[in-house]
Amino acid sequence: MYIKDYSSRKIIVIGIFVLVALLFVIRLFYLQVIDNSYKLSAENIVLRYVTQYPARGRVFDRNGELLVYNEAAYDLMVIPRQVKNPDTVALCQLLEISIEEFEKQLNKAKHYSYYKPSVFTKQISKNDAGPLGEELFQFPGFYLQTRTLRHYPFPIAAHLLGSIGEVNKKEIDNDSYYRSGDYIGKSGIEKYYEKDLRGTKGMKVLAVDVHNREKGSYQNGKYDTIPVEGKDIIVGLDAHLQYYGEQLMQNKNGSIVAIDPTTGEILAMVTSPGYNPNKLVGRERSENYTTLRNDTLKPLLNRAISGTYPPGSTFKMINALVALQEKAITPQSEFSCKGRLSRPIKCTHNHKTPLALEEAIAQSCNPYFWNTFKSTLEKTGDVKVGFENWYNDVLSLGFGEKFDTDIPYEVSGNIPSKAYFDKLYRGSWNALTVRSLSIGQGEILVTPIQLANIVTIIANKGFYYPPHLLRKMEGTDSVSAKLTTKKVSAIKPKYFSIVQNAMLQVFEGDHGTARWYKMDSIQQCGKTGTVQNPHGDDHSMFIAFAPLENPKIAITVIVENAGFGSTWAAPIASLMIEKYLKGKVERIVTEKRMMEGDLIHGESR
């Protein structure tokens, strides 16, 4: 009988087991000695991943003055899973909070995540963080996170510069860069240039012992990443001019917008009442914001870009330009203040009659511009066709729409269309029906920045660069084409010289409405406006540019409920021009009256 020999199979089986065992040994050696990924996972309970927040970019004015910089601050972070029977009373005393607030914040952190760190107390000052850091070893699960706070050496331009605050859920959902507790630009420059200013976060991995004490960087920083600082930016703002404008507008409701006509850069953007931007920084931000929001004077409203007003008599120059463009009048055309044709709109000034265009602008003659407007609409023989021509010419001057640059929350104002009047009057209307448009009243609404821009167009004889804040960004030699592309109006350049000369007479003519504020050293060109206000006293309005040759500043001033344009807005505009072009103000008496004028608490006008 033949018996099979299985000894060879035994050797094969033993060999297989030896091979498998050898593979396990090799794998274990690799995992334990060469590849430390599992080791890192096991050691997660003693490692702390600390976000390294970059320094936010600084903001400078056009002359190199520092407007916004960073100060050291700290957030107290908590990892709920690591919180073990804390001495709640002691920690509350250190943080100067109640036990109820402690429980509320801890529950909020648990709701976010038991395992991930979140902010327990934010924006702790450098002075307060020192004593707290010395005691944190007693409170497992809590640690300090280095942050920075914005600081404003000039307490000015709060609306323009904007503020930062903690991200909300919507902002986190919209951008994966952010995590709970991060800060983001909420308004102004901080919001628009957030991605440039914020920089890029880094990460530091720290070893922590069972007593919550940091033992240093894990593996000598092998897994750390370095934060990248945000970019510095330079804005077109002149800090000293801005500060001066805010002084002039104390105790007044209104705004000032000044633009460099050669670039479209904002030189000053004052809204009053305003507030100190340092109030919306640190642990007091929420309380101060609530106070400002509830203030009946609305200091959070940026009147310069969000306030809308009828332009009043300042719009007469627009109607003059359109009439010249449409060949409805000539510079020599005269209209009388008296007689049947002047009755729909009466003249409010005492002057000779009839007047030609230049004198009519200088003396702000209402009947003249009613007749000018009527001639424009009736030029083609069809009022509605004439109105469409008027409408398109006005829009080409920057009215009725946003500029869409780097100025957040701007509103568009309103220039009524033919379709609007067709609907309102069921198709039956004529020049007389809409006559209030001839003197800048009725349905027309403009913003102060649009008025400043129209002065820029007049100063440039027909073109403008969109008003904007940015002058230069760190690391780049140019700014967006959206900010620097020239826009040309529908009005021919030759007609602007006529209007410029008329505006010069507002200051220098014997009967000019701003002749009291003439300067021998600077040729100023302007136009007063007294704007009807159905809710109270008239608004005082003034637009101007200077000097006549090679203009360097275009400005609009609105002082709400202040009466005639020549009483408050005109002198404030002229003082701003003097300050910018000469670097100092010599008309001390006028300056004192403007600064001490209190129109909110009952100054007589």
Confidence of residue 393 (pLDDT cuts 50, 70, 90): very high
Range with the poorest average pLDDT among 68-77, 256-265, 337-346: 337-346
**CA-CA distance, 387 to 409, in Å (whole number)?**
30
Going by pLDDT thresholds of 50, 70 and 90, the confidence category of residue 129 is confident
Of 383, 233, 398, the C-alpha closest to 318 is 398
Q: pLDDT-derived band of residue 81, with 50, 70 and 90 as boundaries? A: confident
Q: How many CA atoms lie within 13 A of 486 on its CB side?
A: 9
The structure tokens listed for 315 are 């719009």
| Token couple for 369 | 């511009």
Residue 108 has pLDDT above 70, yes or no: yes
Does the structure show a pLDDT above 50 at 58? yes
Rounded to whole angstroms, how far apart are CA atoms 255 and 503? Answer: 21
Give the number of other CB atoms < 10 A from CB of residue 492.
12
Kind and range of the H or E element at 327? none
Which among 88-92, 136-140, 404-408, 460-464 has the top mean pLDDT? 460-464
Residue of 247, 315, 160, 157 lying closest to 576 (CA atoms): 247
Residue 549's pLDDT is 94
* The residue type at 325: Q
Confidence of residue 36 (pLDDT cuts 50, 70, 90): low
What does 17-80 look like in DSSP terms, one character per residue?
HHHHHHHHHHHHHIIIII--HHHHHHGGGGEEEEEEPPPPPPEE-TTS-EEEEEEEEEEEEE-G
Residue 550: count of CB within 10 angstroms of its CB: 8
List the structure tokens of 164: 């930062």
Predicted local distance difference test score (pLDDT) of residue 34:
64
Please state the rounded mean pLDDT for residues 186-192: 93
Give the pLDDT confidence of 434-448 residue by residue, as tens digits.
999 999 899 999 999
Average pLDDT on 27-38 reads: 62
Parallel/antiparallel/unpaired status of strands 266-272 and 254-259? antiparallel
* Confidence at 174, pLDDT banded by 50, 70, 90: very high
d(CA 87, CA 111): 21
* Residue 133 in this model has a pLDDT that exceeds 60: yes
Give the pLDDT confidence score for residue 530 in this predicted structure. 83
- Residue 526 is predicted with a pLDDT of 94
Tell me, what's the pLDDT at 604? 46
Three-state secondary structure of 555-591: EEEEECCCCCCCCCHHHHHHHHHHHHHHCCCCCHHHH
**Closest Cα to residue 250, out of 595, 593, 591?**
595
The predicted structure's pLDDT at residue 14: 75
pLDDT of residue 529: 86
Query: pLDDT tens for residues 148-172?
Result: 889 999 999 999 999 988 898 999 9
pLDDT of residue 351: 66
**Average pLDDT over every residue of 41-45:** 48
Residue 43 has what pLDDT?
47
Note the pLDDT of residue 292.
Answer: 94
CB of 543 closer than 8 Å to CB of 455: yes
Whole-number Å distance between alpha carbons of 524 and 233: 32
Give the Å distances, CA to CA, from 462 to 311, 455, 488, 495. Answer: 19, 10, 6, 9
- Inform me whether the pLDDT recorded for 349 exceeds 70: no
Calculate what percentage of the chain has a pLDDT beyond 70: 92
User: pLDDT by residue (tens digit) across 192-240?
Assistant: 999 999 999 998 888 877 666 667 777 777 888 899 999 999 999 999 9
Complete domains list, the chain, with CATH: 48-235 (3.90.1310.10), 239-596 (3.40.710.10)
Q: What does the block give as tokens for 352? A: 């000779």
Q: Give the pLDDT mean for 75-84.
A: 87
Q: pLDDT for 242-260, tens place per residue?
A: 999 999 999 999 999 999 9
Residue 60's CB is within 10 A of a number of other CB atoms, namely 20
Q: How many other CB atoms are found less than 10 A from the CB of residue 387? A: 24
Q: How far apart are alpha carbons 561 and 478 in whole angstroms?
A: 42
Lowest mean pLDDT among 103-112, 121-130, 317-326: 121-130
Asked whether the predicted pLDDT for residue 409 surpasses 90, the reply is: no
